[in-house]
Structure 1
Amino acid sequence: MTVAYSKQPHNILNYGYFYRRANPVNHLFMFGINHIKFDSMTYAIHFKNGRIAKEGRGLSFYYFGPNSSIVAIPMGSNDLPFIFNETTHDYQTVSIQGQITYKAGNPKQLAEVLDFTVDSRGVYKKNDLEKLHQRIVNEAQTATATFVQSLGLKDAMRAAKAIEVNIVEGLAASRAVGLLGIEVLGVNILAVKATPEMGRALETETREKLQQEADQAVFERRNFAVEQERKIRESELNTEIAVEEKNKQIAEKKIEGEMQRAASTRQLREMQVQADIAVEEQRKQLIEQNAENQRREADTRGYVLETTLRPYKDMDWKLLVALSNNPDPKFNIALAFRELAENAAKIGTLNISPDLLDSLVSDAPDQPRPQNPQNRR
């Protein structure tokens, strides 16, 4: 275990066995009388014949060497570097390096425990300052041991702050530190290291882990790129689906519009047909009514005619012809021919001239007819 310490320099004027003055001043020789001076950061205690003659900070006084003893306690803060080894829970050795900052809180109590006596030159007669440092480091190591032994190697190497807290709490609770009369100002853990072999193994493991993390990062980056590509493609497909859905809706709307137009056209045609049917029905009624009217009119005319002709029903037609008093000669000739036909059995030969026939059948009796010398029977 290595402990570093520093000696506190003191501004001491040592006259030895004579009194002298600097510069060209007369030197006064005084046997056994010394003068000593301390700075403001040193607490001095002058023991004379075993009793405290004077004490305080920054004293400057003469003293008689044979019956005097001077104790000098440095009051300034001091940095105590340390380094020690501990074993972790997984039986690995770690090296803990740091420093403890302290000061003498109760110099008289510290002077009672350790010897800080200086000679006439201001040099410590004993190296009790190293003892003080060693005791502080031992207490710090004791406070750290239990905590470090509960951790694994990797956890211990990452527990610098926790080790600081344990050392501060351990020193504050330590009875030995309390008896020394010192005040711990702070603890700093500078490094927690494994052995070189284990360090190289951890470096290899960490390197492999970092390589794996790098490979994983590359994989995740590629996977992210693939995922982004998939999302882009999915977005494009969703867009196409949305467009097709819109086209489908448009087509459905068109079909619906055509169906509505067809329905409207059908309704119009049905209305037209219904109107035509109604018109035809009215025409039918009109025709039936006209037919009925004509039938009634014909019945009426027939009745009138029948009633008119009823008196002539039983009369001879010849009488009726005579009563008609028709002045047309053709009519009379026709009656004559009828009489001839009725009495044809009594007639032997009948000659009719062509002129007579022409006059009977022709509407224009004045037109000449061709002569036919043959008689017709």
Structure 2
Amino acid sequence: MADITRRLGWRHLRSAPTAHVRHHRGGRLAHEGAGLSFWYRSLSAALSEVPVDDRELTMAFHATTADFQDVTVQATVTYRISDPETAAARIDFSIDPDTGLWRGAPLEQLSTLLTETAQQHALDTLAGSPLDEVLRSGVAAVRGRIDAGLADEPRLAATGLTVVAVRVVAIRPEPEVERALRTPTRERIQQEADRATYERRAVAVERERTIAENELASKIELARREEGLVEQRGTNARRQAEESAAADAVRAEAEATRTVRLARAEAEAARQVGEGRAQAQAAWLRVHADAEPATLHALALTRLAENVPKIDSVTLSPDVVTGLLSRLGGPAGGHDPAPRP
């Protein structure tokens, strides 16, 4: 919108660089161009302002497919007024010289023209395709058809419009149909998920079985090794017993041999001692046989004195004294001299 200032019955207009302004005075063109600034009188001026920047037009409309399904098309058309003079001549872009506002609604007319033209081409495209094809590849087809149709539309060129770009955002069926169409896919995805779950469980069961088999194999191997260990321990114990028995036999044999040798040595020693005692006794007897009786009596008394216990006191009864005196009174003290051998 142009910026208009009032000064003493005059008006000053200052336009934006993206707005093409035409000023007619007395039926003749006084000013024309983008970004103008000039003075004028409102009673004699005829002004028009045509925007020359790119503009976005968002549209949404319904269409019917070949299988009689209703779809909603969301699209955006980017356009600009490439020939403002032609546009100003075909569409009312005049502005109030006092306020700078459009007297009509030129942009709404352009929007209606573009929307209806684009909708016509989109309807022609969607009417010849079934719903599943439209949902798969309808976006590209509709975009190409709208772009080509708007480029070839003679009314747009005669109005001074140029379509810069066409974008089809989405083509969506009715909510019930969309849910119905999603159901097979969801079921398939769920089936794939279930199959993956079953496969994962199967793999888990197989792994558990493998682990159980490994554990069982480990237990069997441990049992086998334990059996071998027990057998080896029995073999070691038997060998140890055999070695102990052999050692005991050797020790017993050695002890027996030692005992026999000791017995033989003791016997030999006893024999030698007996022989020595016998020789000494024989010698002693020979000595006594050659000795005088008095000497023998003296030796006997000496031996008797050595072996008699200690006598502290002696009690003599009359009977003993009488017998002793009777013996002493006999010839040679009461004893016959021993015969000499």
- Alignment of 1:190 with 2:169, yes or no, is yes
Q: Does 1:105 align with 2:82?
A: yes
Residue 15 of structure 2 is matched in structure 1 by 38
Q: Is 1:141 paired with 2:119? A: yes
Alignment gaps of 5+ in structure 2: 204-341
Deviation of 1:175 (Å):
1.1
Structure 1 residue 202, shift from structure 2 partner: 1.8
- Matched with 1:57 is 34
Match of 1:79 among 56, 59, 77: 56
| SS of residue paired to 2:167 | strand
- Who is 1:333 aligned against? none
Q: Quote the residue 1:48 is aligned against.
A: 25
**Alpha-carbon displacement from aligned partner over 1:15-53 (angstroms, at most 9, x marks no partner):** 1xxx1xxxxxxxxx23xx211110111111112223322
What is the rounded CA distance, in whole Å, between the counterparts of 1:154 and 1:209 in structure 2? 17
1:204 Cα deviation after fit? 2.3
Match of 1:199 in 2: 178
Distance 1:199 1:59 in 2: 54
Please list, as runs of the form range in 1=range in 2, the aligned pairs for 1:268-347 lying within 5 A after superposition.
Answer: none
Query: Equivalents in 1 of 2:193, 2:27: separation in Å?
Result: 74
User: Structure 1, residues 128-170: CA drift from partner, whole Å, max 9, x if none?
Assistant: 2101101001111111111111111122123212211111101
Counterpart of 1:153 in structure 2 is 131
**TM-score calculated relative to the size of structure 1:** 0.50
Residue 203 of structure 1: CA displacement?
2.5
Equivalent residue letter for 1:121: T
Residue aligning to 2:335:
none
- Change over 3 Å in CA distance of 1:51–1:216 after alignment to 2: farther
CA distance in 2, matches of 1:170, 1:114: 22
Write the distance in 1 (CA, Å) between the matches of 2:192 and 2:161.
49
In the alignment, is residue 93 of structure 1 matched against residue 70 of structure 2? Answer: yes
TM-aligned CA distance change 1:216 to 1:48, over 3 Å: farther
67, 74, 83: which is aligned to 2:44? 67
* Fraction of identical pairs, as percent: 31
Amino acid at match of 2:173: A
Q: Secondary structure at the match of 1:13?
A: strand
Using the alignment, how far apart are the partners of 1:14 and 1:97 within structure 2?
Answer: 42
Q: CA deviation at 1:71?
A: 0.6
Q: Deviations over 1:86-117 (max 9, x none)?
A: 10011001100121111111111111111011
Q: Which residue of structure 1 aligns with residue 104 of structure 2?
A: 126
Say yes or no: does 1:208 pair with 2:199. Answer: no
Tell me which amino acid in the other structure corresponds to 1:58.
G
Q: Tell me the equivalent position of 2:285.
A: none
Partners of 1:216 and 1:171 lie apart in 2 by: 50
C-alpha RMSD over aligned residues: 2.4
Structure 1 counterpart of 2:41, one-letter code: F
Rounded to whole Å, the distance in 2 between the matches of 1:48 and 1:216 is 82
Report how far residue 189 of structure 1 moved: 1.1
Q: Give the distance between the partners of 1:165 and 1:37, measured in 2 at CA.
A: 41
- How far off its partner does 1:205 sit? 3.1
User: What secondary structure, in the 3-state scheme, does the structure 2 residue paired with 1:65 have?
Assistant: coil
Report how far residue 215 of structure 1 moved: 4.9
Match of 1:172 among 121, 126, 151: 151
Amino acid of the residue matched to residue 140 of structure 2?
K
Corresponding position of 1:232:
none
Give the TM-score of the pair, scaled to structure 2: 0.55
The letter for the 2-side match of 1:91 is F
Q: 2:120 and 2:144 mapped to 1: Cα distance? A: 13
2: CA distance between counterparts of 1:52 and 1:58? 16
Query: 2:43 is paired with a residue of what secondary structure?
Result: helix
